[in-house]
Structure 1
């Protein structure tokens, strides 16, 4: 015993572990831990002397009971084991060692301790999946506990909470600096002698949304030409309904309007319309700005919604929208692998991700700014010094003006804000300027922004490049600073081509508009051609009739390429093309509903899934309705909260009809419904614990919780009912009060046969009106 105590003291100094029996022992006899231990993987195996503390390759997962501060002695452990179980936190630990390395690398749960996240959602990525899926937890289920359990499933690559991000807070402003000093600092007027931007370049602002009606922004807001406003249909077949100006990840059927001011302010710095005799001017006069909303009116948003916004950008990029830069003026100090992978997908499509370094006055990494390949931006003041609020460090690429920045706000107004949120759009605007002159790959664009900075001694050691954003320096780094370098004389014309829709059904029409220009001022002639369909061409406009291009239902899509060519009369020409996807006539989808349970007691949740399919492979959207209860839905999944539907004990069941409509975005719909039966709660409910007890000296004891519905004020008679042939016995049910336990049940057998034997019993309650209610089954085990 002395050796055991000395070993316990030694181990307690490192891991706070007192003692534990082997994995095969009764879990209730496991010793307590003197301080709560959140993660078993934090205790290195090499420091644990008792090998029983670590399972073998063949051992089963075991349960460690983590108690409060007090340690129990070996003598009192047996007597208080059940009580300790009820007040303990139970954490599953101890899978075979082959899984532990993966757990430590992919499930570093310590990263999320203290982080903010959604209380009932986790993101899970299984092996082979392109992106993680969102899983909603049941009521009362703890996020970190669920993640700990998931870490032992071999097919899961990683899982993390649905982290909460926030727009970088706006630092109090000095109103005397409410002017556009930032544009002068970065050399924007000089760069405008080369280019003031192009509407062919699209930047995406992932933020609180944008006031797309603002007089100084509306002409530069990106518009989805393939969508018809307000008809609640997915006209362009991209899987999103009424995405006219972008996408609202919080409320997908609502436009990405700004209810916070942050996103509109960011957009104004990037691309407030120039030379329009009102308000301000952005870094880029003519860029197109796509609005992505995932931050709410309080400036906070969840990781899952940020991923949805990024998915929208990828969808539109792959459909021909020239999105080249993303502005992310938000972040958190918690790493997310899911967000990092999403940004990597953007980079694979040639899209530069620019993020704010944060306003914590610290060198602690902020994400997404600190991810590899992201251009991270700090803030400087009017003197070129690092702003007092700005984060810094070798993970920050460069700095830009971020204090007292005047820009647009919702409602047609203007205001001055401060923060790295205000510095970031300066960089995005310059990136779009450079792309309007030279359509360079992502790595060249990022390098030019870094290489072109103005070196400032005060920033040495604060940001990686040691400098401030320089618009003209960026153009020089791309050899695009002087128009003469692009063309000295007798220059070739340029032309761009836009289409009203990119995906249509056979028989629909598409309108095209060409925009040609010539550096020499030569008049241009336009010629049009198409690979299929009938093209009605004017000078700068044309209309494609797709009738007969793809008339057979079920056939694969047909790609039609429309090309416009401009000539300047000197032998120079330029061409631009648009690819139009022509689908066959639409066939409607099919849908069915699966429910976690079709009969539940009042107050329980029902989880529903729509199983939809479309013969044409179209993406489906789902609309849910319920005849009663509170229904929340997210795409193909929904949850029905039955609380209050049938609250009176022993009342007749209530039936709820849940319906879902699946729409393919092309006019095809399908309906399905399911009936959920909601039963009333009992007047009395019984719960016995533990479910298995050992017979010792022909006696067994377990505990019983008896709960009466608040509306029932009568009495309850209790009796033990055997379910198996059992020797003569007596049962004593005595009052007992501890937490939810109300009774102690003791069973004494008159005799016991030789050999192992199990006996099943339950406790039955009878109310004054003669109704009976049974507990769960308890097994009496004789070894």
Structure 2
């Protein structure tokens, strides 16, 4: 499975290879900027009713809430984020000392667990399936009886067998797909060169390409082929150069996967970070550069949660009294479990009460470390919000990590898994790419054509994915916590899940593309609603509504 949330969907890229002069481009976005905050009754859009929530809260006081974003990085100079960044008041900027004694030098805005002491940062990285396959190959290749293995080794053995089938299975379509991807990239790159001359500038957006009227058949074909990728991914605000970079990165990653059956992946992280990866107690590595080389994903996620509201710039975040802490642990590739576990612990130890995790992968060799960090977060009253993933698959049957189910089969009661919804005007109620699960995905939130902050100081644009849906939920959680600070993570989880909007219309099952109610695709059968959430939070906080004990959607909690 492709669990990447940072780049274009491979399915959309491959679909583009079938384009011809007579092919139809994807449906253009038809929802307004910021549609995800709107209200169904007043605006006719399947948003989360943010303005109604603030009307309800207007005479109430709020307290600041720290929201940690475990992600790729953040633009600390962005006009809409700079005022809401968490700042470590105990640390003196740039003096090269660990002033607060927490083990992390100059951690002003958070920490980068993908950095080296020499200032370098991990950008590109390998996929976890390849790492698991090669890590355990010598140990498990000739194993005939797994009964004598310990429980953790049986978990590793089962993971290795899955990885072997995926990495070394030799699917006959892989070579054909790679050839199609390369040809498509060459075609689009050539077309881009022609379009630059036709449009009259080297850099243009998808919106500008959409408005461009070619004066030759060659330019018309080039426009149609390239425009497909902008429209299919709802990235009309992205530039041609950025889109081609995303496309090339996806090809590079797929090529690395194709080689993984015979060649161990390059140790990108180890070459830079230089920790003892096998020791979870070797935790004081990395650097303070939370912006790093590619902060696009994390900047967008952060803006959805808490970009300054009502300042007349760009867009408004969901929560109005938050401080965004960036903890960099997500490379261009699959994250490492140690970094995720320590990122959670860093966020908890430095005061975060909500943690957003817009990343995922199909394997978790050090899941015990992550599980311990999840339990630690629960013990400190911290809510974890996780994106369900963009594979269009059923998580009741497939693997997606990190996960709320721990190795002992208990469930984390402080965890919410989020699928991506849309609006019927902009492609459908359920995002075609979203993972789902009647048991494993708690609720849906807007994740299609979400307009938010991008790196560059004053830039904004649309991205989509469950990566965008998760921070919508994290923003509502922070909003609730801000106005009702006494609520526990379990109570906030109850509030969010028992106040969802249950649409009268059906969506489509992303796997089968058959009509299905949200109740068949998630636990709650609904889309998060900020207004109903704060109303219910008010009742829970006042004692009018009681919340059941330490449960996780009726499943055994730790």
Alpha carbons of structure 1 residues 301 and 202: separation in structure 2 relative to 1, 3 Å: same
The answer on whether the counterparts of 1:178 and 1:416 sit within 8 Å (CA) in structure 2 is no
Q: For residue 423 of structure 1, give the secondary structure of its aligned residue in structure 2.
A: helix
Q: Which residue of 1 aligns with 2:369?
A: 338
From 536, 545, 558, give the equivalent of 1:477: 536
> Pick from 378, 388, 392: which aligns with 1:361?
392
1:183/1:283 contact within 8 Å kept: yes
Aligned counterparts of 2:31 and 2:475: Cα–Cα separation in 1: 21
Check the 8 A contact 1:199/1:288 in 2, yes or no. no
Partners of 1:408 and 1:481 lie apart in 2 by: 33
Q: Is the 8 A contact 1:206 1:328 kept in 2?
A: yes
Query: Residue 56 of structure 2 aligns to a residue in which SS?
Result: coil
Give aligned pairs, total. 316
Shift of 1:422: 0.4
Q: Measure, in 1, the Cα distance between the counterparts of 2:63 and 2:72.
A: 23
For the 8 Å contact 1:166–1:330, the answer to whether it is kept is: yes
Following superposition, the deviation at residue 253 of structure 1 comes to 2.5
Deviant stretches of 4+, over 6 Å: none
Q: Which region of structure 1 is more displaced relative to structure 2, 307-316 or 324-333?
A: 307-316
Number of the residue aligned with 2:463: 417
Deviations 1:638-671 (A, max 9, x none): xxxxxxxxxxxxxxxxxxxxxxxxxxxxxxxxxx
Q: Secondary structure at the match of 1:194?
A: helix
Which structure ranks higher in relative contact order (CA pairs < 8 Å, sequence separation ≥ 6)? 2
Q: Give the aligned partner of residue 461 of structure 1.
A: 520
Residues 1:381 and 2:425 aligned together:
no
Q: Compare CA radii of gyration and give the structure with the larger one.
A: 1
Distance in 1 separating the partners of 2:8 and 2:92: 36
Question: 3-state SS of the aligned residue for 1:406?
Answer: strand
Q: Show CA shifts across 1:307-337 (max 9, x none).
A: 2212212322xxxx3x211000001122423
Q: Is 2:346 the counterpart of 1:312?
A: yes
Aligned residue in 1 for 2:328: 293
**1:350 alignment counterpart:** 381
CA distance in 1, matches of 2:535, 2:90: 37
Pick aligned residue for 1:214 from 55, 78, 86: 78
Q: Is the 8 A contact 2:90 2:99 kept in 1?
A: yes
List runs of 5+ in structure 1 lacking aligned partners.
Answer: 1-114, 117-164, 486-783
Query: What is the CA-CA distance between 1:195 and the residue it aligns to?
Result: 3.8
Is 1:234 matched with 2:98?
A: yes
Partner in structure 1 of residue 35 of structure 2: 181
**Structure-1 residue corresponding to 2:491:** 444
> Is 1:329 the equivalent of 2:363?
no
Q: 1:299 to 1:334 in 2, by over 3 A?
A: closer
TM-score of the superposed pair, with normalisation by structure 1: 0.39
1:425, distance to aligned residue in structure 2 (A): 0.4
1:230 deviation in Å? 0.8
1:430 correspondence with 2:430: no
Three-state SS of the structure 1 residue aligned to 2:88 is coil
Structure 2 residue aligned with 1:261: 296
| Cα offset, 1:365, TM superposition | 3.7
What corresponds to 1:737 in structure 2? Answer: none
| CA deviation after TM superposition for structure 1 residue 480, in Å | 5.8
Distance 1:327 1:482 in 2: 24
CA contact (8 A) 2:355 2:382 kept: yes
Q: Which residue of 2 aligns with 1:604?
A: none
Equivalent residue of 1:301, what SS? coil
In 2 relative to 1, CA 195–210 (structure 1 residues): closer, same or farther, beyond 3 Å? farther
For residues 625-640 of structure 1, the aligned pairs below 5 Å read none
- Give the drift of 1:460: 1.7
For residues 280-321 of structure 1, what are the alpha-carbon distances to aligned partners after superposition, in whole Å with 9 as ceiling and x for unaligned? 10101231111100123x2542222112212212322xxxx3
Equivalent residues in 2 for 1:465-544 (5 A)?
A: 465-479=524-538
Q: Find 1:192's aligned residue among 48, 51, 54.
A: 54
- Deviation of the 1:175 alpha carbon: 4.7
Per mean C-alpha deviation after superposition, the further-off stretch among 416-425 and 256-265 is: 256-265
Question: Match of 2:80, SS?
Answer: coil
* Structure with more strand by fraction: 1
Scaled by the length of structure 2, the TM-score of the pair is 0.54
For the structure 1 residues 362 and 377, does the alpha-carbon distance in structure 2 shift closer, same or farther, using more than 3 Å as the test? Answer: same
Indicate how the Cα distance of structure 1 residues 448 and 170 shifts in structure 2: closer, same or farther if over 3 A, else same.
farther
CA distance, structure 1, for counterparts of residue 355 and residue 540 of structure 2: 23
Contact 1:333 1:367 in 2 (8 A): yes
Distance 1:272 1:195, change over 3 A: farther
More helix by share: 2
Q: Residue 359 and residue 464 in structure 1: after superposition, are their counterparts in 2 closer, same or farther (change >3 A)?
A: same
Contact 2:338 2:369 in 1 (8 A): no
Deviations, residues 657-705 of structure 1 (Å, cap 9, x unaligned):
xxxxxxxxxxxxxxxxxxxxxxxxxxxxxxxxxxxxxxxxxxxxxxxxx
The offset of 1:380, in angstroms, is 0.8
Superposition pairs of residues 577-592 of structure 1, within 5 angstroms? none
